[in-house]
Amino acid sequence: MMSSPSPLHILYCFLKLRFSRWFSSNKVSFFTKRKWRNNLVNSHFYKPFVLENREFPILNKTLFMEHFNAINTVGISKEEAFKVALNSEESRDFSPSINGISVGLSSGTSGNKGLFLTSTKEKANWVGAVLDRVIGFSLRKRKVAFFLRANNNLYESVKSIILTFHFFDIKTPIANQIKALVSVQADILVAQPSVLFEIARIYQSENIQSSFKKIISVAEVLEDDQKAFFEEVFRCRIDQVYQCTEGFLAHTCKKGRLHFNEDWLKIEKHYLDKEHKRFHPIITDYLRSSQPVVRYELNDIIHEGLPCDCGMKSTVIEKIEGRSDDVFRFERNKKEILIYPDFIRRAIINSSDAIVNYVVCQYAEDEIRLSLEVQDSIQKESVYLQASNALKIMLREMDLMDVDVVEIDYQHSPMNKFKRIRNDYKKTI
């Protein structure tokens, strides 16, 4: 079993991270970098690069998982890590670890499973960061309700005398858990937007009074219409956490803007367009030691925002548009035509106010599939026609005259990350 960090260790990490947020929010200290580099010698993969003073390679998720055994510094194989993680998924007991190292499993927004390892020290850093930048430190007793696809003993460390944690398994239908959620009277609710949507809809229909002082959106892209709906129903602030298998990447500041945690992360930008509007972040995490994350390129499409007046100098994320995997790709006359999620999103949202939720996917070279959830089933036919026409207009503007828009039934499994816009067409152009 993995030992938990002591309260003093967590307090130390909390104070250290709070200090760095206030005074060096966009700079990693020299001592942190030196300690990190010394640790890389324990990684069979990175040791040659350190000793020969060579530039570290850029990795993606495939390469990261392919070299899992050589990258990690704690001698854990991918096979045994997957075995522990998958057994936890099946048993719903997420406490097992390997030699004191916690093992977590992430489906990832792309659907490809990823593994993450966490030591006791890294756990303390994570808890300190969560207290400082997500939950917020307070001497007042508070309750946190967490809706997750998989609990992990990492989350349990947030518990304390003044902070209690309640885990809700999203494998269980949300409607069956509302009574328990209401009885908890949680101050803070943490869940992915698709789950928040189901909770909000039940609260609204049953006229349930919200006890939440803060809502924290995780795991999926939070879109503007969703945020507005949650604020209307719950009548409280909606914050975001940008976290993935590769680490805790960004948090919402006091002004409500999302900032990269650049006091322990280095962010390089791989721009995707000539205007330098969209980029993939290339992450180096100076606090990860058991499973180093070095120049790891994420597939997320990030829009950088203007500097924030909250006092932090770290990079602002204006929005997370989606993933490059889900950019619609067509080939016409040997020319590639790309449709980014924002174009599709705007077409659907502007087509009708009656749309509650939607999924648009590229299914083939000449087919887009559209599924809608509308406020009134009687309206569905006319709303679908409006949304379908909006997509066709958008396609024509991009010289795609031969793409069909086909209606399919709306459905979503809470155990899968919800994506409104996705590319299911496997052909590589």
Residues 186, 77 share a domain: yes
CATH number of the domain that 377 lies in? 3.30.300
pLDDT score of 412: 64
Residues 376, 244 share a domain: no
pLDDT score of 82: 87
Residues 252, 189 share a domain: yes
pLDDT score of 428: 45
Residues 417, 366 share a domain: yes
From 282, 301, 323, the end of a domain falls on: 323
Print the SS3 string covering the chain: CCCCCCHHHHHHHHHHHHHHHHHCCCCCCHHHHHHHHHHHCCCCCCHHHHHCCCCCCCECHHHHHHCHHHHCCCCCCHHHHHHHHHHHHHHCCCCCEECCEEEEEECCCCCCCEEEEECHHHHHHHHHHHHHHHHCCCCCCEEEEEEECCCCHHHHCCCCCCEEEEEEECCCCHHHHHHHHHHHCCCEEEECHHHHHHHHHHHHHCCCCCCCCEEEECCCCCCHHHHHHHHHHHCCEEEEEEEECCEEEEEECCCCCEEECCCCEEEEEEECCCCCCEEEEEEEECCCCCCCEEEEECCEEEEECCCCCCCCCCCEEEEEEEEHHHCEEEEECCEEEEECHHHHHHHHHCCCCCEEEEEEEEEECCEEEEEEEECCHHHHHHHHHHHHHHHHHHHHHCCCCCCEEEECCCCCCCCCCCCCEEECCCCCC
pTM: 0.81
The model's pLDDT over 171-213, given as tens digits with 9 standing for 90+, comes to 888 889 999 999 999 999 999 898 899 899 999 999 999 999 9
From 306, 323, 340, the end of a domain falls on: 323
What domain range is 92 assigned to? Answer: 7-323
The model's pLDDT over 69-86, given as tens digits with 9 standing for 90+, comes to 999 999 999 999 888 888
pLDDT score of 160: 63
- Number of domains forming the structure of the chain: 2
Q: Which residues of the chain have pLDDT under 50?
A: 2, 109-111, 428-429
